[in-house]
């Protein structure tokens, strides 16, 4: 049974790293996990990033080490009790996942061996069908935009609603997602606002966190969902 905790953002205004979702992480991992494998590929400073993540997980009662601290990334994933992929640049992250040959290994461990997966921001993006709806700049080029595919739809973390008082005349996030949906093969896109989380347990998906989400389906009007709403139909 796949178990995913897909978080929009690592830091919420007024709090520290993962502060807004620590209760959700503890409930998700429970006592079945002692150590978490952290994948810091989305940022350049892997040691510094791992230190930040380790401090947060230690406070929650879990040990954590970075995948780059292991001799072999594939072996590290194969032995992981739980996987956490943090945010940063989604293109850098996905390219490195392919470079290290662990995309398929992660998919197998999560979908067939029930290894819990936590993603935040870019880590949430790569858990979906593709990274086509990321907000990031393509600073490097992965071999494909196809992601790990733990869910059959896309997510847009950090989703922002248009500000009616803004004088900005550029495209809104909603407009860009609708442009993506001009292509027939494009999947649904779940816009997770800051503080929003999607919990997936087997074939059940539930919205969690402090804010709601906006679902975009090709050729349909967007629909709003609130925490505790059932989104299992997306699976």
Q: Which 3 state secondary structure label does DSSP give 193?
A: coil
Is residue 188 annotated as part of the catalytic site, yes or no? no
Measured distance CA(174)–CA(117) in Å, rounded: 28
Measured distance CA(60)–CA(52) in Å, rounded: 13
Q: Which of 8, 10, 120, 121 is catalytic?
A: 121
CB atoms within 10 A of CB 24: 17
Q: Which of 68, 70, 99, 158 is catalytic?
A: 158
Q: Which 3 state secondary structure label does DSSP give 66?
A: strand
Measured distance CA(87)–CA(135) in Å, rounded: 12
Is residue 121 annotated as part of the catalytic site, yes or no? yes
The helix (run of H) or strand (run of E) holding residue 4 is strand 3-7
Q: Which of 8, 10, 120, 136 is catalytic?
A: 136
Enumerate the active-site residues. 121, 136, 158
């Amino acid at each position: 049974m796949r178990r995913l905790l897909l978080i929009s953002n690592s830091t919420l205004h007024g709090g520290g790293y993962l502060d807004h979702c620590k209760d959700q992480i503890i409930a998700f991992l429970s006592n079945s996990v002692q150590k978490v494998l952290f994948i810091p590929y989305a940022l350049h400073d892997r040691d510094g990033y791992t230190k930040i993540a380790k401090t947060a997980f230690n406070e929650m009662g879990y040990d954590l080490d970075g995948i780059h601290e292991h001799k072999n990334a594939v072996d590290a994933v194969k032995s992981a009790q739980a996987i956490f992929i943090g945010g940063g640049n989604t293109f850098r992250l996905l390219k490195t996942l392919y470079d290290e040959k662990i995309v398929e290994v992660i998919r197998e461990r999560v979908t067939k061996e029930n290894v819990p997966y936590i993603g935040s921001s870019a880590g949430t993006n790569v858990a979906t069908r593709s990274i086509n709806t990321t907000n990031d700049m393509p600073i490097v080029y992965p071999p494909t935009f196809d992601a790990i595919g733990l869910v059959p739809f896309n997510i847009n973390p950090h989703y922002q609603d248009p500000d009616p008082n803004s004088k900005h005349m550029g495209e809104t996030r909603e407009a860009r997602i609708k442009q993506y949906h001009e292509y027939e093969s494009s999947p649904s896109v779940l816009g997770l606002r800051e503080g929003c989380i999607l919990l997936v347990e087997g074939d059940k998906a539930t919205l969690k966190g402090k804010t709601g989400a906006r679902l975009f389906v090709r050729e349909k009007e967007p629909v709003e969902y609130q925490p505790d709403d059932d989104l299992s139909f997306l699976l």
